[in-house]
Amino acid sequence: MRKVNEIFYSLQGEGHHTGYPSVFIRFAGCNLRCPFCDTSHEGGILMDDDAIIHAVKLYTAEWIVITGGEPSLAIDADFIHLLKRATGKKIAIETNGTRQLPPGIDWITVSPKTGICGDSGTADVVVDRADEIKVIDVGQDLEPYFSLGCRGEKTLMYLQPCYVEDPAEREANRLRTVRRVLADPRWTLSVQLHRFLGIP
């Protein structure tokens, strides 16, 4: 049994696959506590693998996005193998990178939280591969992200404004991130498209 926050169908709103129709499996629980997190860690229901697969197969999207919380707490190699075999879909994951991942995942998005949240050392990135690194911009030093061990020659680098409820602060965050991307073209801007569109 795995604790699932929600399974839903929407457009990917962030990073390289922005705009792609995707089935999202959002697992409950995380090993970090970030002040800007928009996911409930206390909720969720227990589902077996057959129920998860049944829910995913209701949609024809090519991609499954495994997210959280921190989804690496809830998955293993058997689950990834079963999910791919039963659905025929590609699997992406959005992870903070603090735990090793099982094989078979087609696209790995690492959203590192080192220096943002968690006690010293608890947010260190240990995964050895990232197809994209997506950093939430809270004004921190950005240079260390280019030295992460999971970053390869083809790893895409995205910088994303930190979403907050206050409209004035939210706008200030967006403008800061735009300025930082313009000042350092090694980054590409990522925006939460789903918030602009008013979809999940």
pLDDT tens digits, one per residue of 101-146: 999 999 999 999 987 776 656 789 999 999 999 999 999 999 999 9
Task: Please tell me the distance from the alpha carbon of residue 55 to that of residue 60, in angstroms, as a whole number.
Answer: 11
How many domains is the chain built from?
A: 1
pLDDT at residue number 40:
65
Q: Residue 199 region, left (φ>0) first, then alpha (ψ -120 to 50), else beta? A: beta
Q: Which two tokens stand for residue 170?
A: 């939210």
Could you give the 3-state DSSP secondary structure of residue 109? strand
Indicate the residue type of 6.
Answer: E
Sheet containing 132-137: order of strands: 45-47, 2-11, 21-27, 63-67, 90-95, 107-110, 132-137, 156-161, 188-189
Task: Please name the amino acid found at residue 187.
Answer: W
pTM here is 0.94
> 66: which strand partners?
25, 93
The confidence score (pLDDT) of residue 116 equals: 79
The two beta strands, 21-27 and 2-11, are antiparallel
Q: Read off the CATH number of the domain in which 72 is found.
A: 3.20.20.70
Residues of the chain where predicted confidence (pLDDT) is lower than 70: 38-41, 118-121
**Residue numbers of the domain that contains 133:** 2-197
